């Protein structure tokens, strides 16, 4: 009983930072126990900051998943994506800096560390992929020196959902007991809008699922040429009819996305449909076209 009285309900903002591919989006999905962000082995899979509300008996947290920051980018989208994480850090109560300790450290980490250093928020260093960081793949010793810049350090496996509860408890412990009315209100507004249970009512979410499958089945630079637009979602009672287009910037990419005899696009469409059916428990018909649109990146920047 005493513990409950002592435990004040807390509200806070937590921003997840890290270089690309460290498992930030996988970690957010593990925290939320559902898929709220797409993931893939390609860098900068996440293109925009994604905010969701986590709630338990200790309070509510607005988590922001950010795209991984890359040191040198020349393309339009990469440049725009690189500006996302810095925008989010200012209002954070806590920043989580996610590291992939199964991969050697290199200078790519420095930009993220620089951003963390500038932040006035409390700081947690998260060693991720401990399931994979074994034997010659254990690079923990290369990252250890960073610990002194952080308030706390924790090891997790986002994919195996190891120590996720420990991380959530640590976050609640570290959240300041300050007046957090605006965070509380923002969390309520987001929850009223139906987040994090984003579903088929969200064209953006469907587009993300399709983009994820394109990332999984396409290689090299092709995924970076891709954007997905969902034109319509119609409930036909027996099934849901979704019309969507994969946009790409060049004819050679379009050919690769379609594949020999349409094999690739079928694979992408099949896997997107299966996932959307599983999520919605409805039958889905997905009409997926590939189109050349040289200017989608410019439009994306203006948004
Ligand atoms: N073995 C292992 N793989 C993981 C773990 N967490 C994430 N991954 C994998 O690492 C890859 C990148 O994961 P993401 O969650 O997309 O990484 P991210 O940091 O969000 O990347 P960007 O959005 O590109 O910045 C995916 O293939 C994940 O399945 C983990 O704990 N263990
Ligand atoms: Mg991501």
Are 32 and 179 found together in one domain? yes
Atom of ligand 1 nearest to the CA of 42: 24
Stretch 21-40: mean pLDDT:
96
User: What residues make up the domain containing 290?
Assistant: 203-302
pLDDT at 130: 98
Q: For the chain, how far is it from start to end, CA to CA, in angstroms?
A: 51
Ligand 1: residue of 159, 160, 164, 213 to mutate (most ligand atoms within 8 A of CB) is 159
Are 101 and 216 found together in one domain? no
pLDDT at 201: 63
Query: Is there a domain that residue 215 lies in?
Result: yes
Query: Is there a domain that residue 198 lies in?
Result: no
User: pLDDT averaged over the chain?
Assistant: 92
Centre of ligand 1 from the C-alpha of residue 101, in Å? 12
Query: Is there a domain that residue 153 lies in?
Result: yes
| Residue that terminates a domain, selected from 192, 224, 256 | 192
| Residue that terminates a domain, selected from 167, 192, 217 | 192
pLDDT at 300: 79
Residues 217 and 210: beta-carbon distance below 8 Å: no
Query: Is there a domain that residue 54 lies in?
Result: yes
Are 171 and 244 found together in one domain? no
Q: Which runs of E-coded beta strand occur in the chain? A: 10-17, 50-56, 59-65, 94-100, 122-128, 152-155, 227-235, 240-248, 284-292
Q: How many domains does the chain have?
A: 2
pLDDT at 193: 82
pLDDT at 8: 79
Are 29 and 163 found together in one domain? yes
- Among 96, 102, 168, CA closest to 132: 102
Our separate counts of H helices and E strands in the chain read 12, 9
Residue 291 has pLDDT above 80, yes or no: yes
Residue 7 has pLDDT above 70, yes or no: no
pLDDT at 1: 46
pLDDT digit string (tens) for 97-115? Answer: 999 999 999 888 899 999 9
Question: 131 CB less than 6 Å from ligand 1?
Answer: yes
| Residue that terminates a domain, selected from 165, 192, 219 | 192
Are 64 and 19 found together in one domain? yes
Are 130 and 229 found together in one domain? no
Query: Is there a domain that residue 150 lies in?
Result: yes
Examine residue 69 and say whether the peptide bond preceding it is cis (omega within 30 degrees of 0): no
Residue 2 has pLDDT above 50, yes or no: no
- Which residue lies with its CA nearest to atom 10 of ligand 1? 23
Question: 155 CB less than 6 Å from ligand 1?
Answer: no
Query: Is there a domain that residue 136 lies in?
Result: yes
Pairing of strands 152-155, 227-235: unpaired
Are 43 and 133 found together in one domain? yes
Are 156 and 132 found together in one domain? yes
Task: Give the CATH number of the domain where residue 252 resides.
Answer: 3.30.300.20
What are the tokens at 37? 């962000």
pTM assigned to the model: 0.94
Query: Is there a domain that residue 31 lies in?
Result: yes
pLDDT digit string (tens) for 224-283? Answer: 999 999 999 999 999 999 999 999 999 999 999 999 999 999 999 999 999 999 988 999
d(CA 184, CA 90): 17
pLDDT at 220: 87
- pLDDT band of residue 299 (cuts 50, 70, 90) is confident
Are 149 and 215 found together in one domain? no
Are 102 and 146 found together in one domain? yes
Task: Give the CATH number of the domain where residue 167 resides.
Answer: 3.40.50.300
Residue 73 has pLDDT above 90, yes or no: no
The DSSP annotation for 238-294 comes to S-EEEEEEEEESSHHHHHHHH-GGGHHHHHHHHHHHHHHHHHHTS-EEEEEEEEE-T
Question: 18 CB less than 6 Å from ligand 1?
Answer: yes
Query: Is there a domain that residue 197 lies in?
Result: no
pLDDT digit string (tens) for 150-190? Answer: 999 999 999 999 999 999 999 999 998 877 889 999 999 98
Stretch 198-203: mean pLDDT:
68
Phi, psi of 301 (to 5 degrees): -70, -40
Kindly tell me the burial class for residue 286, based on how many C-beta atoms sit within 10 Å of its own C-beta (0-12, 13-18, 19 or more): buried
Stretch 45-61: mean pLDDT:
94
Are 70 and 217 found together in one domain? no
What are the tokens at 11? 């509200």
Question: 128 CB less than 6 Å from ligand 1?
Answer: yes
Are 155 and 59 found together in one domain? yes
pLDDT at 255: 97
Residues 242 and 233: beta-carbon distance below 8 Å: yes
């Amino acid at each position: 009983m005493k513990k409950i009285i002592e435990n004040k309900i807390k509200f806070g903002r937590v921003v997840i930072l890290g270089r690309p591919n460290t498992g930030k989006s996988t970690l957010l999905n593990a925290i939320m126990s559902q898929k709220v962000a797409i993931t893939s082995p390609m860098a900068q899979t996440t293109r925009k900051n994604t905010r969701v509300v986590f709630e338990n008996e200790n309070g509510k947290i607005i988590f922001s998943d950010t795209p991984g920051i890359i040191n040198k980018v020349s393309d339009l989208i990469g440049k725009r994506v690189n500006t996302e994480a810095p925008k989010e850090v200012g209002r954070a109560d806590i920043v989580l800096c996610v590291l992939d300790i199964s991969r050697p450290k290199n200078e790519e980490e420095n930009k993220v560390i620089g951003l963390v250093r500038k932040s006035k928020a409390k700081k947690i260093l998260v060693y991720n992929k401990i399931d994979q960081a074994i034997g010659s793949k254990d690079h923990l010793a290369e990252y250890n020196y960073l610990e002194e810049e952080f308030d706390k350090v924790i090891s997790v496996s986002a994919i195996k959902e190891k120590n996720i509860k420990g991380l959530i408890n640590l976050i609640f412990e570290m959240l300041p007991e300050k007046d957090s009315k605006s965070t509380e209100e923002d969390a309520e507004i987001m929850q009223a809008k139906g987040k994090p249970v984003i579903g088929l009512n969200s064209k953006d979410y469907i587009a993300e699922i399709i983009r994820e499958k394109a990332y999984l089945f396409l290689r090299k630079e092709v995924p970076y040429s891709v954007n997905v637009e969902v034109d319509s979602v119609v409930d036909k009672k027996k099934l849901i009819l979704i019309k969507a287009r994969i946009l790409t910037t060049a004819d050679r990419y379009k050919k690769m996305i379609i594949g020999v005899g349409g094999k690739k696009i079928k694979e992408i469409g099949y896997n997107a449909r299966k996932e959307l059916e599983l999520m919605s428990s409805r039958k889905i018909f997905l009409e997926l076209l590939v189109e050349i649109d040289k200017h989608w990146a410019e439009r994306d920047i203006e948004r």
